[in-house]
Structure 1
Amino acid sequence: MYSLILHGRRSVELHKWRNLRVSLQKASSFFNSFSSASALHLSPRVGGKGKNFTVSYLVKSLGLTTNIAESISKKVSFEEKGNSDSVLSLLRKHGFTDSQISTIITEYPKLLLADAEKSLGPKLQFLQSRGASSSELTQIVSSVPEILGKRGHKTISVYYDFVKETLLDKSSKYEKLCHSFPQGNLENKIRNVSVLRELGVPHRSLFSLLLSDRQPVCGKEKFEETLKKVVEMGFDPTTGKFVEALQVIYGMSEKTIEEKVNLYKRLGFDVGDVWASFKKCPVALRVTEKKMSDSIKTFLGLGFSRDEFAMMVKNFPPCIGLSAEMVKRKADFLVKKMNWTLKALVSNPSVLGYSLEKRIVPRCNVIKVLISKGLIGSKVPPMSSVLAYTNQEFLRRYVKKHEDKQLVDQLMAIYLAS
């Protein structure tokens, strides 16, 4: 077994795997009757022409924030409200609350482009005809709205049953899920996702894997082999890192993983550093030799030592994959314009992962005003207290705490305008 697994193997994980093999075998016996599954691919019209209308519509009709509406408009765009109004009206008619509808559209905006009368209506009616209560229907669809994007009653039925079983924390009834014959690789999906559920993988991750047509849950033997490796590496199934590791390892052979480890070692990292980085950020194992080399040159060029760079990667692995241009822009702003030291960045490497325009600049502009007014001293506060806090905490500490309402309004205007 390759060195990375040797470093992370734990006896408890091996015990889990022995039990897991039984679960896999048990699940497999129920799926001989499955054939295939296919997704209904809606075709959103994405373009600049209807973007402003879409944003305005989402804000007014669903009460979404401008930021969320803008994010959705990058995925779907429309110039008339007729079709979208019909979709929202249909959902309300079936008992969905405004809050649930907002969640559904945020998670699966393509639904706004679906045909309410010919597509969505019949699907909702079919689910109700199978005995789904109004509360059950709204809960399940709100949790996994992509179900309504699937084609065919049989396929929708299988997805719905699985989600229902999972949300209600019932033991999976494989016989029940086999009552229909969906198309595609749903046989493998249901079996594999059921096994992940037994391990404790969170619902959101389960449903994302179930509904996706991508690997790794579409296979059989390869899935079992990959899952065994990830369990042996010591990843906690209850965290998102487990699924990330599963996806990364699925596409790599033992030889490839060994080569990646050796690549890190040649660039000055020991096996312990590689393991620590992979545990924090599984996708770090995908970084190419050229990308690593470019990152080292970028950080050394900014004045960091190799040891400092290694420490930053260990504490914040994604920094090795950031673009050279973005790293330079952020470091230049933080060091030259805000007077923080390079050592402060070494201690807070995650700052390099924050958005310069949406997080770093707005907060720093507020801090500069407070310093100019002598309200927080003459020196910039610690980097972590300015940039690492949540938006709410930052505003509480540096904006809303002031008694001068005019000052608070001024600071809020600066924060929002940046």
Structure 2
Amino acid sequence: MFSLIIRGRRNSPELHKWHNLRASLKAFLSSFSSASVADVSRRKGNSFTVSYLVESLGFTTKLAESIFRRVTTTEEANKGNNPDSVLSLLRSHGFTDSHISTIIRTYPRLLLQDAESSLAPKLRFLTSRGASTSELTEILSKAPKILGIKKDKAFSRYYDFVREIISADSESSEFGKLSEGSAQENKLRNVLVLRDMGVPQRLLLPLLISNHHVCCGKEKFEETLKKVVEMGFEPATFRFVEALRMLYQLSDKTIQEKLCFYEKLGFSVGEVWEMFKKNPSFLPLSEKNVLNSIEAYLGLGFTRDEFATLVKCHPQCLNYSAELVKKKAEFLVKGMNWPVKALVSNPTVLGYNLEKRTIPRCNVIKALMSRGLLGGEGELPSLGSVLVCTDRAFLKRYVMKHDDGDDKKLVAELMDIFTGDRVS
């Protein structure tokens, strides 16, 4: 445990008056249908529409709508820039449709840039420096947001640094001698430190181009990095970067307050940090959100001890919305008749997609039970054997075992149920 953690009191009282906790506020969720998104497009008179993304880039309607919402509120969206000119410019520099699709998924605002006055000069500059087509397409496909940097000098340095990170056989870097200075220099230096520690390219590039402050500054970054290393996180993993982000945003005073809060709930300091190692994103949660989460689980029939066991094993449970937890738990407990204890033993099931994973598999199980094909008198199998396995393992265990002789028709029916072509 890192040295700056201040230990809380040992006599941690249990949280009382659970039934008096305030009802959780439902998160305000907004979504647009295809029609409403199209209406926004027409009002803005913007040629960058959902149908354009679907037809020109082959995106699904759902993905196209998501991308459209991310850019229609930007200033560029009102300038009437032509996305076709951007696509044509990229293709003229050797970018394939696959490259372009990847770029737009990551940085959809690129389609709203002025191709001639903003994007073309940057590509010409890189080409004049000797950048080959393969280098351009690889680097800009992996870090397209650098194309949004307006200052030429900053754009050049970021491009060079991304190239340095991507270069597999590079043994040294001119950026290694960067001293403390501008925010840009600090970010480049700190990302280089992480690279030298073994943080992989796929995790470095998002840090380099994000607006998050985790890689800015010097002392705060070094202190936070020291904490993460001392806690035993492996640099090659996503959790290392996630822990760095979470701790960077919390002061030592806030960390102490968090520890004291969880002690009042019955968790020891050691247990809190073990939970943090499993899911760093739970620590910054507000006390209100945690209490609302607790109320939701207790309202579903979990005891305090079962809730504590659930969270210590799978702290991600605290991140799930109360509404989704209720929907999933009620389906599994009331709809399928698995006991609450089964969820405590298999907490990861609460994170599975209900429509795409849980319901299709459970429909197969119900179909088999109705035919008396599961154990004695249609006995319900264990929750883990049904949900905590790959699709391939599930199909082998409950569907393909019937692929013999007259059972081929049954297999076809079960596959239809599993794929959603038929309800059980």
Distance 1:203 1:105 in 2: 20
Matches within 5 A, 1:188-227: 188-227=186-225
After superposition, the C-alpha distances for 1:91-134 in whole angstroms (9 at most, x for unaligned) are: 22111122222211222222222222222222111111111011
**In angstroms, what is the RMSD of aligned CA positions?**
3.5
Equivalent in the alignment of 1:12: none
Equivalent in the alignment of 1:102: 101
Q: Relative to structure 1, is the Cα distance of residues 251 and 410 closer, same or farther in structure 2, using a 3 angstrom cutoff?
A: closer
Determine which of 230, 239, 243 is the counterpart of 1:245.
243
Distance 1:391 1:49 in 2: 39
TM superposition shift of 1:254: 2.1
Contact 2:259 2:269 in 1 (8 A): yes
TM superposition shift of 1:140: 0.6
Q: Which moved more, 1:373-382 or 1:305-314?
A: 373-382
After superposition, the C-alpha distances for 1:157-186 in whole angstroms (9 at most, x for unaligned) are: 1111001111113245236997xxxx9620
Contact 1:51 1:74 in 2 (8 A): no
Distance 2:298 2:105 in 1: 41
TM superposition shift of 1:381: 4.1
Distance 1:243 1:176 in 2: 21
Aligned length: 374
TM superposition shift of 1:235: 1.4
Q: Which moved more, 1:221-230 or 1:132-141?
A: 221-230
TM-score, normalized by length of structure 1? Answer: 0.78
TM superposition shift of 1:352: 1.6
Contact 2:364 2:414 in 1 (8 A): no
Equivalent in the alignment of 2:264: 266
Aligned-residue sequence identity (percent) comes to 56
Distance 1:111 1:398 in 2: 47
Three-state SS of the structure 2 residue aligned to 1:216 is helix
Equivalent in the alignment of 1:115: 114
Equivalent in the alignment of 1:15: none
Q: Relative to structure 1, is the Cα distance of residues 346 and 146 closer, same or farther in structure 2, using a 3 angstrom cutoff?
A: same
Instruction: Supply the AA of the counterpart residue of 1:132.
Output: A
Three-state SS of the structure 1 residue aligned to 2:420 is helix
Contact 2:162 2:205 in 1 (8 A): yes
TM superposition shift of 1:416: 9.1
Distance 2:164 2:349 in 1: 41
Contact 2:113 2:119 in 1 (8 A): yes
Task: Please state if 1:62 is matched with 2:57.
Answer: yes
TM superposition shift of 1:362: 4.2
TM superposition shift of 1:199: 0.9
Distance 2:163 2:126 in 1: 12
TM-score, normalized by length of structure 2? Answer: 0.77
TM superposition shift of 1:411: 2.8
Distance 1:4 1:47 in 2: 50
Equivalent in the alignment of 2:45: none
Distance 2:390 2:40 in 1: 33
Equivalent in the alignment of 1:14: none
TM superposition shift of 1:368: 3.4
Equivalent in the alignment of 1:230: 228
Q: Relative to structure 1, is the Cα distance of residues 416 and 255 closer, same or farther in structure 2, using a 3 angstrom cutoff?
A: farther
After superposition, the C-alpha distances for 1:268-315 in whole angstroms (9 at most, x for unaligned) are: 112332121100111221123333333333222322222221121112
Q: Relative to structure 1, is the Cα distance of residues 127 and 220 closer, same or farther in structure 2, using a 3 angstrom cutoff?
A: same
Contact 1:230 1:246 in 2 (8 A): yes
